[in-house]
Amino acid sequence: MLKDCSQGADSIDIRKATVGDYDAISDVMFDAVRNGRSEYTEEQRRAWVSQPRNGTSWTERLESQTILVAIRAGQIVGFMSLAANGYIDFAFIRPSAQGTGVFRPLYEAIEKLAQRNEETRLWVHASLMAQPAFDAMGFTITKKETVEIGDQTLDRFEMEKLISIDC
């Protein structure tokens, strides 16, 4: 266990994901994109995540980075990942857990991992919903982007945060 953010019965545990978590991680991502609060249209959300992810390419993508999961009441309620060069590839919180203090401890654990890996910069492609959360963690927008997924276009932000390496 990496971190225990005790809040009584609602404590959040942060730990490294295992292969056995990949289906739950996929479900959290699907739930967050398709059922969470969103500034994207239903068509954009469907293009982004048409169904829960699975299969070899999904497994390979997850195995190429470090995935941390947030556990509350025995369930994965969020996850965040650290890929090569300080890139945060995934950051998703289940809609029922959004606004309940899950994002911060996940991010803090990722930042500590990056510091141990001697990264001096974290960066992310943040959705319209994730941008305020990353902003609150000290990230700044480096550019606004529009990406095409199928016949849909989605706005997002490239953001970065310079971090110091722990001694």
Write down all domains in the chain, each with its CATH number in brackets. 3-162 (3.40.630.30)
Mean pLDDT, the chain, rounded, equals: 93
DSSP 8-state symbol, 19: G
Name which of 24, 23, 2 is nearest 12 in CA terms: 2
Give me the pLDDT at residue 165, please. 80
* Whether residue 7 has pLDDT greater than 50: no
Handedness of CA 158, 159, 162, 166 (dihedral sign): negative
Give the tokens for residue 61.
Answer: 């993508």
* Whether residue 81 has pLDDT greater than 60: yes
Helices (H), 11-149: 22-35, 42-48, 56-63, 103-116, 131-136
DSSP 8-state symbol, 130: T
* Whether residue 9 has pLDDT greater than 70: no
**Dihedrals φ, ψ of 41, to 5°?**
-75, 165
